[in-house]
Amino acid sequence: MSGVVGVGQLPGVTGAELAKGFSHYLGRFVSFQSVAPENFGELIAPVFGTGAAAGVG
């Protein structure tokens, strides 16, 4: 299935499915917005460091 990334859950879930799960757990609306890999690397660099973001894209 395209667009599914395994991060510890089997079977994998889509971003929309993950947002739905968070919405259920938190009791409020959570949405998913797709991000290009290059932009994702830029977004995680301040949190995890530029080394962690290297190769994302």
In a domain, 41, yes or no: yes
Q: What is the CA radius of gyration of the chain?
A: 13
> 20 is in which domain, residue-wise?
15-53
Pairwise CA distance, residues 57 & 45, whole Å? 13
36 falls within a domain: yes
Q: Identify the pLDDT of residue 7.
A: 64
Q: Evaluate whether residue 1 is within a structural domain.
A: no
pLDDT in tens, the chain (57 residues): 566 666 677 777 888 999 999 999 999 999 999 888 888 888 888 888 877 777 666
pLDDT at 26: 97
Q: How many domains does the chain have?
A: 1
Residue 4 lies in a domain: no
Q: For residue 3, is it within any domain?
A: no
d(CA 40, CA 29): 22
8 is a domain residue: no
